[in-house]
A and B are shown apart, each in its own frame.
Chain A
Amino acid sequence: MLEVKDLGVKKGGGYILQNLNFSAGKSELHVVMGPNGSGKSTLARTLAGHPEYNDYEGSIKFRDREISDLKADERLREGLMMGFQHPPRINGVNIKRFLTRVLEKLDGVEGTEKIEERIEIVTKELGFSEDLLARNINAGLSGGERKRLELLQARLLEPEILILDEPDSGVDVDSLELISDQINWLHERGTTIVLITHYGSLLEEIDLEDARVHLFRDGKIVTSGEGDLAREVEEKGFNRIYEECGCN
């Protein structure tokens, strides 16, 4: 479904991502781990179509099609969605109006009651009260609430592949549980998930049975393995694993 070949992304003269190879098939769960600044977020943002990273080297194919000429909105409509690590606040834009607009656009219909109903149901499932819908996008929300709002949108937009950039950072325990439940649910329903994280606490709640785990270092994937690798990282830390695999 997603195939990344020899991906290189430059910023300020140096490479943030280099010779990166990665692929994800339908319904798979991929966990991307690595220390801060190793390029994980850049990968997510490049895949999602951030204009800053549009001049990449190599190729990104989604459903057998090179997506370099697709803008972020077009990628979403193709079925590729990214959940932000730091979802920005957008002043004056009401969440309900925004979600309705986005769904109308995706479904190509206007103002149906069904859309409203769907929004309300998913809002509750994500542990929000209806007051949330009257607020502005990411305004006055805690870290956990912001990440839950990202998953709420994923539930509504139903992408084929969902790239989650640290859905667990800055999140309290209760939100963590809601978030991991949603990830499991989406995965079980056949959504391909690329989960970027650098700690294991979220992973304890995620079913890693068929997961592929990739370790990042300096802009590339240095080693990959099964779900156990995530637990190993948690126990030993990145440096020891890098040493053991000769990835230094």
Chain B
Amino acid sequence: MVAINNTGTKSQKEVSIERQIEKITEEKDEPDWVTDLRYRGLRAFESAPQTDPIISEPLEFLADQEKTPAEGIETLDDLPPETKNLLDELGINEMEQRAIAGLTIQDGTGMIDSSFREKWEKKGVIMAPMNEALKRYPEARERFMKLYDPGASKLAAYHTAVWNGGVFLWVKEGVKEEIPLHLFFLIQQEALAQAPHIVILAEPNSEIKLIEGCTSPILSKHSLHLDMTEAYIEEEAKLDLTVLQNWPEYVHTRPTQRVKVARDAQFSITSVGLGPGKSNITDPHYWVEEGGRVDVDSIILAKEQSHVDLGGVIHLEGENSTGINNSKAVIMDDSEVITRGKINAVASGTKGHISCDGLVMDDGASMETYPGLSSRVEDAELSHEAAIGEIKEEELFYLMSRGLNEEEATKLIVQGFVEPAIEDLPEEYLSEIRKIIDLTVKGEE
């Protein structure tokens, strides 16, 4: 069926992508240069390598705009009840009720904007839907789709062609904000590619915390979350990103990050995959300049038949830069977790550490880890450690000998395993994460 050709005629797949592009651009009324970029993605698609071990056909997931969400949703009270319940599940409403947090929700492929936007703008924090930002802010245009190559893989090309929604977050110079900003993604349609594109610009000396939550109601059966984040952390700026994912077992997620960390800047990401979906494959890249630092913490609770593959490279390009990559995985049922983070030291005085802990809970569950360290300089300090194991019988016996049954004891050990990696998260999330672990982990029967 597929006509691969170099003769100028289009293959069926290209036609299908083009149809999607036409539909998106028609509705979005986007600038020509943005549409041109989409066509670049389309042209790259056929020749781009198929690198994904699970998704052999990205076009199964269409990013059309059939169902844009209802307009006039200003606050959480305006959301459909099932969406609200989902946010409840993630502990969001409590936060919102306390009126402390900024909130933007991407529902399907459209944006629901909260009234918090204006309030944040006064503080020097701009949060705008991506398509709006590309028209309005040169700062967004200059940084949009600059950090990655659409020809790198079929999915990258597909994202470039059909990206939809996403935000531009711009923290102005010197602005420091303690209260975290919230961003939520929900998938509600079947066979949908949700491909938000996020650009973050943290100007020099700014500090901000961003919390992303992702989930999907039970309705959608077969979906792809193909997001792309490009972040620019400028001199001495600091960005803390927390990503909470709670996808149902049939959602494929391919979050991709490209982050540039300037001199003495810091970027930290804690990603908590409470439900990593059917498959979750990541390949983030971080480039760190002199004195900069990147901390990557991943917590994965893999269950059923999830396939989780955490890759990514921290490039230590500036002198005395630091990169840390920690992962903790609880692997249950028949799930599989692979970690293959790399640290690449190119400049002197750099430090890097990879650690990987896996707790294998069931016979069908498996874990593999391939830490990668490479250095082109003499004085880089690079190290890694890995430990994969089961729950120790003695620990279980100890807790049971104090009156906890096997399931309660197992849960406590799993929580204890995860706890050190999440203890810095806000209390609301901690209790939520503990609750989800409680619901997910079963005792050995």
A211: interface (CB < 8 Å): no
Check B420–A88 contact: CB distance below 8 A.
no
Given known A92-B415, A92-B419, A93-B415, contact A71–B406 (CB-CB < 8 A): yes
Contacts of A153 in B (CB 8 A): 402
Q: Which of B158-187 contact A (CB under 8 A)?
A: none
Query: A51 at interface (Cβ–Cβ under 8 A)?
Result: yes
Q: Considering only CB atoms, which chain B residue lies closest to A77 in the complex?
A: B403
Q: Which residues from B are CB-within-8-Å of A81? A: 401-402
B412 engages A93 (CB within 8 Å): yes
B398's nearest neighbour on chain A, judged by CB, is A88
Instruction: Return chain A residues, CB-CB under 8 Å to B409.
Output: 73
B403 contacts A157, C-beta separation under 8 Å: yes
Of chain A, the residue at the smallest CB distance from B409 is A73
- Chain B contact residues: over half helix, strand or loop, or mixed? helix
Kindly list chain B residues whose C-beta atoms are within 8 Å of the C-beta of A223: none
How distant is B282 from chain A, measured CB to nearest CB, in Å? 25
Partner of A71, one of B395, B398, B400, B418: B400
Whether, in the assembled complex, B405 has its beta carbon less than 8 Å from a beta carbon of chain A, the answer is yes
- B397 lies within 8 A of chain A by Cβ: yes
Chain A residues lying within 8 Å of B413, measured Cβ to Cβ, are: 90, 93
B417 interface hit (Cβ, 8 Å):
yes
- B interface footprint on A85-96 (CB within 8 Å = 1, 0 otherwise): 001101111000
Minimum CB distance partner of A76 in chain B = B403
Q: Is the CB of B395 within 8 A of A48?
A: no
Residue A88 contacts which of B394, B400, B418, B419 (CB distance < 8 angstroms)?
B394
Interface contact A92-B417, CB-CB below 8 Å: yes
On whether the beta carbons of A88 and B402 are closer than 8 Å, the reply is no
The 8 Å CB contact of B416, one of A49, A71, A91, A157, is A91
Q: How far is the CA of A172 from the CA of B417 in the complex (A)?
A: 31
A102 to B402, CA, bound (A): 7
Considering only CB atoms, which chain B residue lies closest to A104 in the complex? B403
Q: Interface 1/0s, chain B 56-70, versus A by CB < 8 A?
A: 000000000000000
Chain B residues positioned under 8 Å from A50 (CB to CB): 397
Assembled-state Cα–Cα distance A119/B415 (Å):
22
B397 near A51: Cβ-Cβ < 8 Å = yes
Total interface residues on B, CB under 8 Å, equals 24
Residues of chain A with a CB closer than 8 A to B420's CB? 91-92
CB of A105 within 8 A of CB of B408, answer yes
| A137 neighbours in B (Cβ, 8 Å) | 398
Residue A247 lies at the interface, judged by CB distance under 8 Å to chain B: no
Q: State the total of A-B contacts with C-beta under 8 angstroms.
A: 77
**Residues in B neighbouring A52, C-beta threshold 8 A:** 393
The residues of B that contact A173 with a CB separation of less than 8 Å are none
Q: Mark B363-404, 1 if CB is under 8 A from A, else 0.
A: 000000000000000000000000000001111011111111
Q: Which residues, 58 to 87 on A, are CB-close (under 8 Å) to B?
A: 71-73, 75-77, 81-82, 84, 87
Asked whether B397 lies within 8 Å of A72 as measured between CB atoms, the reply is yes
- A86-116 contacts to B (CB < 8 Å): 87-88, 90-93, 98, 101-102, 105-106
Distance from A54 Cβ to chain B, minimum over Cβ atoms (Å): 11
Complex interface: chain B residues within 8 A of A42 (CB): none
A105 to B: closest C-beta gap in Å:
5
Question: Shortest distance in angstroms between B410's beta carbon and chain A's nearest beta carbon?
Answer: 12
Residue on A nearest B412 in the bound complex, by CB: A93
**B404–A73 touching, CB < 8 Å:** yes
Q: A71 — which chain B residues lie within 8 A by C-beta?
A: 400, 405-406
A162 to B393, CA, bound (A): 22
**A101-B393 Cα distance, complex, nearest whole Å:** 20
Q: Which residues on A sit within 8 Å (CB–CB) of B398?
A: 84, 87-88, 90, 137
Q: Smallest distance from the beta carbon of B433 to chain A beta carbons, Å?
A: 13
A81 vs B400: C-alpha distance in the bound complex, in angstroms?
Answer: 10
Q: A51-B393, A88-B395, A90-B398 are in contact. Are A73 and B416 (CB under 8 A)?
A: no
Give Cα A87–Cα B395 distance, bound, in whole angstroms: 9
Q: Which residues of A contact B406 (CB under 8 A)?
A: 71, 73
Q: Nearest CB to that of B399 among chain A residues?
A: A90
B401 close to A136 (CB less than 8 A): no
Bound-complex Cα distance A82 to B393 (A):
16
B416 touches A72 (CB 8 A): no
Whole-angstrom distance between the Cβ of B119 and the nearest chain A Cβ = 36
Closest CB-CB distance, B402 to chain A, in whole Å?
5
A182 to chain B, nearest CB (A): 17
Complexed CA–CA distance, A106 and B401 (Å): 12
Contact with B401, one of A49, A93, A98 (Cβ below 8 angstroms)? A49
B399, B406, B418 pick with most chain A CB within 10 angstroms: B399
For B415, what are the chain A residues with a Cβ–Cβ distance below 8 Å?
A: 92-93
Which residues of the other chain, A, contact B417 by a CB distance below 8 angstroms? Answer: 91-92
Contacts of B416 in A (CB 8 A): 90-93, 136
Q: Which among B392, B395, B401, B418 is the interface contact of A73 at CB below 8 angstroms? A: B401
Q: Are B401 and A48 in contact (CB under 8 A)?
A: yes
A45 to chain B, nearest CB (A): 8
User: How many angstroms between the C-alpha atoms of A106 and B408 in the bound complex?
Assistant: 13
Ordered by A's residue number, 27 sampled pairs between the chains whose C-beta atoms are within 8 Å are A48-B397, A48-B401, A49-B401, A50-B397, A71-B400, A71-B405, A73-B406, A76-B401, A76-B402, A77-B403, A81-B401, A88-B392, A90-B413, A90-B416, A91-B417, A91-B419, A91-B420, A92-B419, A92-B420, A93-B412, A93-B416, A93-B419, A98-B402, A101-B404, A137-B398, A153-B402, A157-B402
- 9 nearest CB pairs, A to B: A92-B416, A92-B419, A93-B416, A72-B400, A76-B403, A73-B400, A72-B401, A88-B394, A73-B405
